[in-house]
Amino acid sequence: MISACAPGKIILLGEHAVVYGRPALAVPVRQVQACARVEAAPSGRAGGVLLISPDLGLASWLSDLPSSHPLAAITLATLAALTPGPFAPVRLTVTSTIPVASGLGSGAAVSVAIARALNQHFGGELGHSRISQLAFEVEHIHHGTPSGIDNTVVAFDRPVFFRRGEAPEPMAIGGPFHFLIGDTGVAAPTAEAVRRVRQRWQADSAVLEAAFDRIAALVLDARQALLQGNVDRLGADLRHNHALLQELDVSSTGLDRLVQAADAAGALGAKMSGGGMGGNMIALVSTERRQSVSDALRQAGAVGVLQTEVEP
Ligand code: MEV
């Protein structure tokens, strides 16, 4: 039996603008993960893959699923990359603790976990980069125009400075940064938020391009702050990025409420993270304020609060 896992992720700065070629910063979140297990199937035809996802209520042979089904798509893409030849039927079970449609990269993590597990089971040699590419193919199903940042940070499992079409730059981190991740409890598919920004961009590209440029400048500043371990500077960048995401109209009442609550309780900076319109927000906190900001987030309606560290 083979088992492989992949972490969730948060985007620190640059979501949405990254779809339009601007840089972005993202880090893995190992407190949540998706895992895939491959073992011999008790019955079935040679070359058969029985896909099981208790979370989705799915138990189906791969050949009975449409190739556009995300679990089928990553399985087919990985098998095509591995070309294992005839094999005894296998059972592939997928589980995840990453909330779906919440900005934490659940789709990418499931894809990466499946690709890793199949790669190990068949003795393949797919590296991070190839596994990231395979997951990227499936991201197109989740939302039409992915930048590739989600699959990249999840597959490489380390902080990245990312720009579409370029090799990801692993980030050196200059000091510990403590984050809280507050969940609005509102599921919001990334596809919808990306579509909303696309419509606004089509209607008024000059205004949107200018906003993307301002976000890009914040990302570059935040990269310096991360390198220097400068929490105040990173906090200010997060705050400004949230204001620009509000201008793009991808925040929500729930996200704004949690961001305000974190600010009022003494966070160094807070913003929505990921596609937005629901899902999660992040707050950069000092260790002294971590508990009080976490309490404030819950009082303001967060259905869950995770803690995560970005460390050298
Ligand atoms: C989703 O985590 C981040 C977005 O920028 C979409 C993407 O980059 O593909 C909203």
Give yes or no: residues 205 and 95 share one domain.
no
CATH code, 190? 3.30.70.890
Q: Ligand 1: which atom is nearest the Cα of residue 139?
A: 9
Residue for token pair 């058969």 = 48
Looking at the DSSP bridge assignments, the partners of residue 162 are 24
Q: Is the CB of 150 under 6 A from ligand 1?
A: yes
DSSP state of 224: H
* Residues noted as catalytic: 150
pLDDT single digits (tens) 224-268: 999 999 999 999 999 999 999 999 999 999 999 999 999 999 999
Give yes or no: residues 199 and 251 share one domain.
yes
Task: Give the range of the structural domain holding residue 238, as residue numbers without chain letter.
Answer: 172-310
pLDDT single digits (tens) 41-72: 988 889 999 999 999 999 999 999 999 999 99
How many domains is the chain partitioned into structurally? 2
Report how far ligand 1's centroid is from the alpha carbon of 143 (Å): 9
> Whose Cα sits closest to atom 2 in ligand 1?
274
**Mean pLDDT of all residues in 20-24:** 98
The residue among 145, 169, 193 that closes a domain is 169
CATH code, 24? 3.30.230.10
Asked if the model's pLDDT at residue 142 lies above 80, the reply is: no
Give yes or no: residues 215 and 136 share one domain.
no
pTM for the full predicted model: 0.96
With cut-offs at 50, 70 and 90, classify the pLDDT of residue 296: very high
The residue among 150, 169, 188 that closes a domain is 169
Report how far ligand 1's centroid is from the alpha carbon of 287 (Å): 29
Give yes or no: residues 41 and 63 share one domain.
yes
Give yes or no: residues 203 and 138 share one domain.
no
CB atoms < 10 A from the CB of 26, how many?
29
The residue among 169, 188, 223 that closes a domain is 169
Q: Which helix (H) or strand (E) holds 146?
A: none
Looking at the DSSP bridge assignments, the partners of residue 204 are none
Give yes or no: residues 97 and 237 share one domain.
no
Residue (of 34, 119, 38) closest to 70 by Cα position: 34
φ, ψ of residue 55 to 5 degrees: the values are -60, -40
Which positions ≥6 away from 110 have C-beta within 8 Å? 6, 34, 36, 70, 71, 74, 94, 96
Which tokens hold the place of 48? Answer: 């058969």
Q: Which pLDDT score, from 0 to 100, does residue 265 have?
A: 98
Which tokens hold the place of 287? Answer: 């260790």
Give yes or no: residues 154 and 185 share one domain.
no
Q: Is the CB of 152 under 6 A from ligand 1?
A: no
Q: Ligand 1: which atom is nearest the Cα of residue 197?
A: 10
Query: 227 to each of 171, 287, 311, how far by Cα in Å?
Result: 8, 19, 11
Burial group, residue 45, by CB count within 10 angstroms (0-12, 13-18, 19+) = exposed
In sign, the C-alpha dihedral spanning 129, 214, 20, 29 is positive
